[in-house]
A = this chain, B = another copy of it.
Amino acid sequence: MSETMKAAIFVKPGQMAVEEVPKARLEQDDDAVVRVVRACVCGSDLWYFRGLSPHPEHAQIGHESIGVVEEVGSAVTSVKSGDFVVLPFPYSCGKCPVCKAGFESVCPHGGYFGASQAEYVRVPEADGTVVKVPGSPEDYDDATLASLLTIADVMSTGYHAAVSAEVKPGDTAVVMGDGAVGLCGVLSAHMLGAKRIIAMSRHEDRAAVAREFGATDIVAERDQAAIDKVLEMTGGYGADAVLECVGSKQSFDTAIGLIRRGGVIGRVGLPHDVEISAEGTFYGNIGIKGGPAPVRHYDLQSGLLDTVVKGEINPGRVFTAEFDLDHIQEAYEAMDQRKVIKSLIRF
């Protein structure tokens, strides 16, 4: 009889379960298997939980985790059993022109993890995917482990929003969305030198983290009122950079309304019914950039891993509740009901 492991199961919208499933195992020479130490629930998982986006029923789920390499395939050279790694939400070959250009998240030979809320995860293309962390999990405190977990997705995604929006020192940046990604966007805009960071938030717990991460102003208004407010704050010219971390038509249209001419909207929210006006953006010289975040590029080439390891940033603050895998239903519900910003799963 084959080995089993515990895994979160998406039963149907609104209903999660934990079941014994076949243990993740090597399937290809370039695979690794990782024993998960921390995982978490993503805002995008909530789209499934809320029944707003389709997800296979009675299937595994999850794409954010950190852990320890259990075993590697014969072709894997960059990590070995016992190594501590971050698993970026995309896996990637690491060798093609798309990866070399720093866009591993859209590597045509790669894909996305979808079974990371589990005791073990199979990692395809391990050499092009994993981010090796110095030492072992025991060398880090809980806060640092939480921050390491954020550079599997949420922090790297916020960073992608800021980089895509071309945030420069001295800029006024607006962050649309006060979820965990938006908050990490605030932190990223701060890291890139934005002088004024306007966070759009109407939840005091989130606004508090936004301020801690570097937000200088909180705007609770929405739609035209939000646009008017930001225009008023910027002498009528609009914000130099906008980090669009929601993906709704409402959020995108607001971003268009409040960006300065010549500015760039960095978008990381999965688009839902968003329309981009070819004329409106053209005649304002407004740039649109972004997509799934190239996590590995930012972790290694842009130094997010080092910055977290040295304790210079604490993006793990977005986790405001912790659950074990057996309480995965509660972890989803707490986020769905906005009782927590983001739920961490401890193994």
Bitwise interface map of A from 55 to 81 toward B, beta carbon under 8 Å scored 1, else 0: 000000000000000000000000000
Tell me, rounded to whole Å, the shortest Cβ–Cβ distance linking A57 to chain B: 24
Contact of A96 among B237, B278, B286 (CB under 8 A): B237
Q: How far is the CA of A116 from the CA of B290 in the complex (A)?
A: 40
Known A108-B237, A260-B97; judge A282-B287 contact (CB<8 A).
Answer: no
Q: Which residues of B contact A164 (CB under 8 A)?
A: 287
A288 pairs with B287, CB closer than 8 A: yes
Tell me, rounded to whole Å, the shortest Cβ–Cβ distance linking A23 to chain B: 32
Q: Which residues of B contact A28 (CB under 8 A)?
A: none
A282 pairs with B271, CB closer than 8 A: yes
Q: How far is the CA of A289 from the CA of B294 in the complex (A)?
A: 20
**Interface-side segment among A99-107, A125-133, A145-153, A337-345:** A99-107
Q: How far is the CA of A105 from the CA of B237 in the complex (A)?
A: 15
Q: How far is the CA of A291 from the CA of B264 in the complex (A)?
A: 12
B260 pairs with A98, CB closer than 8 A: yes
Known A260-B101, A261-B106; judge A282-B290 contact (CB<8 A).
Answer: yes
Binding site for B on A (CB under 8 A): 96-98, 101-103, 105-108, 164, 234-237, 240, 252, 260-264, 267, 270-271, 274-279, 281-292, 294
Q: Can you spell out 23 A-B residue pairs with CB atoms less than 8 angstroms apart? A: A97-B235, A97-B240, A98-B260, A98-B261, A98-B262, A101-B263, A103-B261, A103-B262, A106-B261, A106-B285, A108-B237, A264-B289, A271-B279, A275-B278, A276-B278, A276-B288, A281-B291, A283-B291, A285-B292, A287-B287, A287-B288, A287-B289, A289-B289
